[in-house]
Amino acid sequence: MRILISILLLLLSGFTFATEVLINTYDKTGYVFDEDNQLIASFKAECDAVRISSVVSNVYRPLHLTVDYFPLPVSTLLILEEGQTLGANEGDICVGEKAFELLYQKYCSEKKSITVNVDFYPIEIYSDRIVIKEEITREKFQHFVQHFLPDLAVWYPITPGVYPLKSSRLKPEFALYTFPGIGGGVIPIFHNEPCSLKWNIDGIETTKSAVFFGPGEHQIDAVYDLSFNSQWQQGFRVFVPYQRVLFSSTEVSLGRVSSGNYEDYFFLDGIEPHRIFSIPCKTTLITVDPPEISVVRITVQDDMQPIINIQCPQKTSGLL
How much is the pLDDT for 13? 37
Q: How confident is the model at residue 24 (pLDDT cuts 50, 70, 90)?
A: very high
Q: How confident is the model at residue 15 (pLDDT cuts 50, 70, 90)?
A: very low
Percent of the chain with pLDDT over 70: 78
Residue 4 within any structural domain of the chain: no
* Domain CATH code at residue 184: 2.60.40
Q: How confident is the model over 44-72, as a mean pLDDT? A: 81
Total domains in the chain come to 4
Residue 314 within any structural domain of the chain: no
Residue 8 within any structural domain of the chain: no
Residue 1 within any structural domain of the chain: no
Do 29 and 90 lie in one domain? The reply is yes
Q: How confident is the model over 224-238, as a mean pLDDT? A: 72
Q: How confident is the model over 24-52, as a mean pLDDT? A: 89
**Are the C-beta atoms of 266 and 287 separated by less than 8 Å?**
yes
Strand order, beta sheet including 93-94: 39-44, 29-33, 19-24, 114-119, 52-60, 77-80, 85-87, 93-94, 46-47
The pTM of the full predicted model, rounded to 2 decimals, is 0.50
Do 115 and 29 lie in one domain? The reply is yes
From 206, 224, 240, the end of a domain falls on 240
How much is the pLDDT for 118? 94
By mean pLDDT, which of 27-36, 60-69, 242-251 is the weakest? 60-69
From 240, 259, 278, the end of a domain falls on 240
Residue 199 within any structural domain of the chain: yes
From 196, 225, 240, the end of a domain falls on 240
Do 141 and 234 lie in one domain? The reply is no
| Rounded CA separation 46/25 (Å) | 9
Q: How confident is the model over 93-122, as a mean pLDDT? A: 92
Report which secondary-structure segment, H or E, holds 3: helix 2-14
How much is the pLDDT for 115? 94
Residue 266 within any structural domain of the chain: yes
Do 32 and 94 lie in one domain? The reply is yes
Percent of the chain with pLDDT over 90: 29
Residue 32 within any structural domain of the chain: yes
Residue 310 within any structural domain of the chain: no
Q: Containing domain of residue 228, as a range?
A: 173-240
Do 132 and 103 lie in one domain? The reply is no
| Rounded CA separation 304/306 (Å) | 6
How much is the pLDDT for 16? 46
Burial class (CB in 10 A: 0-12, 13-18, 19+), 203: exposed
Do 158 and 179 lie in one domain? The reply is no
Taking the alpha carbons at both ends of the chain, their separation in whole angstroms is: 135
By mean pLDDT, which of 41-45, 123-127, 268-272, 280-284 is the weakest? 268-272
pLDDT digits (tens, 9 = 90+) for 152-191: 655 566 788 887 776 445 577 899 989 888 889 999 887 6
Q: How many CA atoms lie within 13 A of 81 on its CB side?
A: 9
**241 closest CA partner among 223, 215, 266, 264:** 215
Q: Which of 4-18, 81-95, 270-284 has the highest mean pLDDT?
A: 81-95
